[in-house]
Structure 1
């Protein structure tokens, strides 16, 4: 074990690492920007002045709030990015006035949070219940537009942990002022560019129909600390757009399946019934013929590309597609995302119309230049899950292979034929429904599709095979007395307050630690965990007493918003340490790059900061399915599609874990698809939908990249808390997928009276309860004494934790 040193630096100046990661954050943000509309308006010329408006113009939102926030050094706004690019802004007075209004609104919000925090047990609840709402700016005048060649309007939204977005003006819908502003700007007959700075969709259908001059729409999502520079790079053509949507943007919220029953809208936050079954996101829109505003995988460029399928070839348990891509434009070099979808036989088990089966991003191609990509289609993307037979099955019949740069543009390009049905994997029955319900069905519409057949399409035979058997021996620690192993089953309760942002003690602002109880006697150190997934969430700065060498702590509010709500108290006889982490783009923004190499590079950058700040486990990536656009935490997650989510999470995991001593914690396992009553809602979902949609991404990540840890979710699944579910933690993750790492709970899952039961966490295979409290210890010991929790179960959980401590410690020592 190494001697401990304080994390961070006494030097407040930007480090070389900060500058390097700043450049990566900018590049990643630009690559994830999606050009949704462009009628010859973009790119702009820096020589033409622009008028800039909207709540996010000078206060661009870098990311969401809560544990997914990052306390970074500086955020670059769209305004600053445009000015640095060399363009002039005609309405500087409007920008200055907005800054004043913003500061006043922040102070009012701060007072409300501090007052509400006095009346709740956990101050974070007051914070989560009252997300800051960006104020309106003053009304736009003709003077603001004088000399402008174009107007740019930034629509921003803030959302986060603990509360879902609202189906209200100023959130999912445009605010009254935003609508008035856009209609007013439209009157001036100059190009109008909308920039969407939100973690999820904002409904634009009406305003696009009612205006004539909205010539371009850019979705920058929540692009991290360098978002303003990245936006300017795209606006002025220094970067060519290459992002693609990872979720369907509906014309109307009501176009989603069962729109009135999501989260708080159904009036019952105790139970959420997943009646749509497998028809989530584009699977619903595509299967039921509901036309979206912008489809899954959609995104424009400043150039154009031609895609041609060169051939298909079977490679053991997969199909390899080779596709030629040509830049058919005349001016701009660019990159294209090639997407492969498959349509399955519509006999037998009912299925969605098409599903994503593979993708690849090209190298940068100059005008007229061609290149080839090879895309692997795993056989499991051709399979369906049968609840009745408890198996993944590749059915006999004809499979369509669709090639395109979005779902809607994909063209039927080849057929795969499977001569006979093959069971590729047998499973165990998990998470049975307490009360059956009727799931959405295509009925006769799905049956009719089996009769459609194109002629002149290449045909390739495919022979499925059994997936490899999983052999997973779980370590059971035998050399220590079982009573001394019990503290491993919960977090380091000596750290004090077990609330968000204050559970870690060795690294200020870290999320928590495993126990120190075995350190003095057995030299088994604690593992330090930090939140994510847009970077490390630590305190930006902290103080250490020079005489005692002890850290001055802070509460929950002090760890949020860079200390705005509760500023750090300054002590005279103390040294100040600085922990400037990088705020990278959020999960959705990164996913919109569809670039696995970039996400691996992002992972390596995070790992570099983990090593710098003594962090062992990063509580990321987040990979829950974007089931509904109102989920308050969608910005942390990759997509509505499990294959894309799992593939990207695997890339991030590989990047992080290439660095010795660093591990990821994929989360939240599983069905954490809403934030309202997230600790008590019962997600009622069929086993087929659970396996094909909500577990599939986790399965891919486990099998492809072996993450160090998994975090179980707060919610129940079919009546059982995820952290108490042996079906999830042991049967699915370990016995079926071969997961060898540690499973931990989300923070304080055992605190509510109706929350997870501590001893049942260990019995289920949820190894660690985080951040840990004395009631967890007492409950586990009572269960052991009563024989409800066996010695074998304790030793298995402890064995996995000790194996991870040993692994990360040995890697760090190298």
Structure 2
């Protein structure tokens, strides 16, 4: 017998900083510091000595950007700026007058931006539903600040910052990807006035670094992305040497934007935001630059330290379970600083009937903190699935006959061959069915086969000369897995399915979406009622039957709830929609409503890209468990995170939420975050956006047009890894179409891939308002596809379900299958007294 918990008002009536806040800030600070990447450090300028006089400039000095805008924003108690953090660490800031003047300029620009948004919104018929689009497309441009005047300082630090967010892509233009004229002048002046200069990049995505070639006295460069609420303290930890940098790049930083293979056609660049042709195919990020020998400024996996390391490969072995095991030893060869190092393994697969990238990431691991002279052994495993390629013709993941070369190093560029695997015949590792067929012609980028063959021949010769260990694999010893495909109605938990048979059609239809009676449809991303500021709630129409509603809260930079709300006469005071300059879209000012005030301060963790730059799955799991603890405290069952779409192009407005250009890294980070969250009883993640959500312009209607092989190897692979490694409670589908079919209505991805091929057992939901923009994506279409829950819920969704049930175009069996999965997850939520960690539930 399951006992439903009695709900209480969330938060606390005491506004004093809690122990939980203090402890969680420590975790956020640790993650932020470990994810910052040191890209340049000439003459060992860093770390700076305690008490160093610092001339601090740039828009991010006192207005450090903690994260992106939109649903990923967090209403934390405070954010520590870089200015504050450096002062806290004991540095003397010589430019406080410049910073005070900048703050005045910033505030004036912020008010002007607000006025522009409110003027546009005043012309809308529905000022609430259309507000988000105006907000996301009316970019806030941070002023550059006053002219630079010289101060008595030992070193200058310039913080380059950019705002990015949900709902709009960035631009290949000054003030966004490129510096403005004012910023160029500032850097020129700084470099003429100060002998030693440090630049930190505080942006939601990559930016142009050509200025690094102009000024030789920019001796240090840091990629700090958007570091969360402890931004300033974490930055000071790195600058001071309290923490030795150990972050590594999760993207390739090209010399110029035009070097990216889809730069001309991405999003609005070609004037077409309706169809996005993935003509680069497999050649995303380093796969392109490495295969086509395009020089880069900073390569994938690159990052410096204050100390030095030596990595030795001690042994290589092909185990009986057909996993390649690489045993390594990492030694801190420095004499001053302790530090951490990452071991990265890449693979070159043989050129056969399928064209392949030159190298792909197949495994990685990070050491603990090593003192000078200390060493640690790391054992890394490579499953054969990491070496496969997808054959559309055979509808199978295959290992082609030939030689596979494994590389080891602390970056892609620094890696060297360490092992060879010879396969005698072709192997079909997994037999599948074809999915998501192209509906129009697509010409994908191809390499010169002659050039690639030359590279491979040279590589094999090098491996032979260096006597790299060779392993032999017989095709006859490898088993083929044949996927058993089941329909939506067959992929159901038995106990929940029997229970669902007892519910009325009215309740089944109501459970299929959030509760529109709560007004969720009009408050995009902030619709929760029982937990103010949460993103929404499932319907509690079956509460008397033992199925309560569950609360969903946005992410992925922490829980996004209202900082505070009031309770009057035993009820939560429902505030009207409000836009505040305090932070993001849904921030609140000081409480002024009648009744007692409750406070809900959450921890703003670093954005996804910075978290991935740690390359530290244990740390990410720790962050996840911290988030899970806050979910439990605030009665949130599902966190709408992590975001894990591929960084296909630097201008995607939402790249900050996502991890990397590489699917293995993205999948393992999402898996670690999920494992952490789901260590907490009744809490779960929602990996998103499934799939191909790689641009924000026209995100509701953009059609991602790509080959099945590219879809599987690049854009679905991370989701597959996250699901097989962590079994998240839920998945959120994306707004876009995939080869002409809305992701929310796509049976191929929801049922065939996620459930049948990868064994996903949880609930699949739509992104917010997905079904409210036309007849080509419907609530009934979601149910047929195996997309179980339409959020946040609208009366039109119920109308559609009822109409199609009556017409016979939606079967009752499909609807019941979806509700069965929702019920099964609800039964395992924190809404029950005996909730257990989800991953332990069989």
The TM-score range, normalised by the shorter chain, is: over 0.9
Where 2:170 maps in the other structure, the secondary structure is: coil
Q: Give 1:60-79 correspondences, 5 Å limit.
A: 60-79=64-83
Pairing partner for 1:489 from 504, 512, 516: 512
Pairing partner for 1:593 from 607, 610, 614: 614
1:128 aligns with 2:139: no
Once the two structures are TM-superposed, the CA of residue 565 in structure 1 deviates from its matched residue by 7.2
Contact 2:70 2:585 in 1 (8 A): no
Residues 69 and 565 (structure 1), Cα distance of their counterparts in 2 relative to 1, 3 Å cut: closer
1:251 aligns with 2:255: yes
Pairing partner for 2:592 from 543, 559, 570: 570
Once the two structures are TM-superposed, the CA of residue 609 in structure 1 deviates from its matched residue by 0.3
Once the two structures are TM-superposed, the CA of residue 627 in structure 1 deviates from its matched residue by 0.3
1:13 aligns with 2:16: yes
Question: Which residue of 2 is the match for residue 235 of structure 1?
Answer: 239
Where 1:581 maps in the other structure, the secondary structure is: coil
Deviations 1:113-144 (A, max 9, x none): 222222344211111112322111100112xx
Q: Give 1:721-760 correspondences, 5 Å limit.
A: 721-753=742-774, 756-760=777-781
Deviations 1:524-574 (A, max 9, x none): 1001000001100011111111x25233223163698367877466123x1
CA–CA distance in 2 between the matches of 1:48 and 1:659?
Answer: 44
Question: Which residue of 1 is the match for residue 453 of structure 2?
Answer: 447
Pairing partner for 2:47 from 43, 46, 54: 43
Deviations 1:657-714 (A, max 9, x none): 1110101100000000000000000000100000000000001111111100000000
Deviates more, 1:480-489 or 1:416-425: 480-489
CA–CA distance in 2 between the matches of 1:704 and 1:713?
Answer: 22
Residues 411 and 93 (structure 1), Cα distance of their counterparts in 2 relative to 1, 3 Å cut: same
Deviations 1:701-743 (A, max 9, x none): 1111110000000000000000011111111111111111100
Where 1:385 maps in the other structure, the secondary structure is: strand
Contact 1:36 1:299 in 2 (8 A): yes
CA–CA distance in 2 between the matches of 1:480 and 1:215?
Answer: 68
Deviations 1:175-206 (A, max 9, x none): 1111111111111351000011012111112x
Residues 786 and 606 (structure 1), Cα distance of their counterparts in 2 relative to 1, 3 Å cut: same
Question: Which residue of 1 is the match for residue 547 of structure 2?
Answer: 524
Deviations 1:619-669 (A, max 9, x none): 000000000000000000010000010011111101101110101100000
1:551 aligns with 2:555: no
Question: Which residue of 2 is the match for residue 138 of structure 1?
Answer: 146
Contact 2:683 2:830 in 1 (8 A): no
Give the gaps of 5 or more residues in structure 2: 836-842
Contact 2:56 2:156 in 1 (8 A): yes
Question: Which residue of 2 is the match for residue 415 of structure 1?
Answer: 420
Pairing partner for 1:216 from 217, 220, 225: 220
Once the two structures are TM-superposed, the CA of residue 423 in structure 1 deviates from its matched residue by 0.5
Contact 2:582 2:589 in 1 (8 A): no
Question: Which residue of 1 is the match for residue 286 of structure 2?
Answer: 282
Deviates more, 1:446-455 or 1:481-490: 446-455
Q: Give 1:326-405 correspondences, 5 Å limit.
A: 326-405=331-410
CA–CA distance in 2 between the matches of 1:385 and 1:581?
Answer: 43
Where 2:68 maps in the other structure, the secondary structure is: coil
Once the two structures are TM-superposed, the CA of residue 65 in structure 1 deviates from its matched residue by 0.3
Where 1:544 maps in the other structure, the secondary structure is: strand
CA–CA distance in 2 between the matches of 1:213 and 1:630?
Answer: 29
CA–CA distance in 1 between the matches of 2:399 and 2:585?
Answer: 54
Question: Which residue of 1 is the match for residue 472 of structure 2?
Answer: 461
1:294 aligns with 2:302: no
State how many pairs are aligned: 807
Deviates more, 1:347-356 or 1:313-322: 313-322
Once the two structures are TM-superposed, the CA of residue 497 in structure 1 deviates from its matched residue by 4.1
Question: Which residue of 1 is the match for residue 602 of structure 2?
Answer: 581
Give the gaps of 5 or more residues in structure 1: none
What RMSD, in angstroms, separates the aligned Cα atoms of the two structures?
1.6
CA–CA distance in 2 between the matches of 1:678 and 1:77?
Answer: 32
Deviations 1:762-789 (A, max 9, x none): 1111111100100000001100111000
Question: Which residue of 1 is the match for residue 439 of structure 2?
Answer: 434
Deviates more, 1:627-636 or 1:489-498: 489-498
Once the two structures are TM-superposed, the CA of residue 348 in structure 1 deviates from its matched residue by 2.3
1:711 aligns with 2:711: no
Q: TM-score, normalised by structure 2?
A: 0.94
Question: Which residue of 2 is the match for residue 510 of structure 1?
Answer: 534
Contact 1:729 1:766 in 2 (8 A): yes
Residues 810 and 4 (structure 1), Cα distance of their counterparts in 2 relative to 1, 3 Å cut: closer
Contact 1:77 1:228 in 2 (8 A): yes
Question: Which residue of 2 is the match for residue 500 of structure 1?
Answer: 524
Once the two structures are TM-superposed, the CA of residue 757 in structure 1 deviates from its matched residue by 1.5
